[in-house]
Amino acid sequence: MVHPYVLWSVAGVCSLVTLLILLTPTQESERQRLEQLLGHTVAVLEAAEVTYWVCDGTLIGAFRDARVVLGDFDADLNIPIESLDAIRRVDWQSAGLVCYEGYGGFRIKAWSLDTLRIDIFVRRDVGGMIVYGWPHLDSMYEKTVTPVSFIFPLRRYKMSVFEVYGPAKPHVILSHQYGDYSLSPPKTWADAMWVCFERQVWARVIPLASYFSPMMTY
């Protein structure tokens, strides 16, 4: 006979999972809201004369579809280490945004518990190669180490109803990083559960620690 505590635990987990799924908006509505957040963020960066370029999955969307990738819940930007002072001077609160700093970059959100975010990574030029400002990330993401000539001069990409800056040679970068770079939304139950967890817990709850620490939590 199954102990009642076990049944209650299973019921509690199922209820929590169901609630998290119900709290997760549709992919298209999330896509539009992430594009609005990205557009607002890059407008603030450009007004502050902060050099940036889209990267990773956000570059895929800009280069391939001129939109954020459907099913994505964060947008990725790089800035050169020379722009650190400029981005730190930005009054994010006046811009209606929340900014956390730490772990080699910045995280921008519309509000603290929002599930969508803009991740900004600090990069530096070492011997003609663009590497992370925080060296630990280079070992985690080896394929993102890129020759300077692949990045600069930056070019403009259409992204929804606005434009963003991106690298000079997107196809070369993305082919090296992702192969055919045909990312798609999660298809399996396990994939969907992980996305739900990351949106509702990893992205929404964990940043609460930033109220007690100046560092950005991941």
Distance of alpha carbon 208 from the chain centroid? 18
Average pLDDT taken over every residue of the chain: 84
For residue 216, pLDDT over 50 is answered with: no
Of the given ranges (20-29, 85-94, 104-113, 136-145), which has the lowest mean pLDDT? 20-29
Nearest Cα to Cα of residue 187 among 65, 13, 27: 27
Helix axes 189-197, 4-23, angle to 10 degrees: 80
Report pLDDT for 217. 41
Model-level pTM?
A: 0.79
- DSSP3 helix / strand / coil % (the chain, rounded to 5): 45, 20, 35
CA distance 137 to 122: 10
Give the pLDDT confidence score for residue 71 in this predicted structure.
81
CB-based contacts of 175, cutoff 8 Å, min separation 6:
181
What the block records as the tokens of 74 is 């964060």
pLDDT at residue 138, rounded to an integer: 87
Query: Cα separations (Å) of 120 from 58, 139, 180?
Result: 12, 18, 24
- Cβ-based neighbours of 130, under 8 Å, separated by 6 or more: 78, 123, 124, 145, 146, 147, 148, 150, 151
Where do the domains of the chain lie, and which CATH numbers do they carry? 27-211 (3.30.460)
More confident residue, 186 or 46: 46
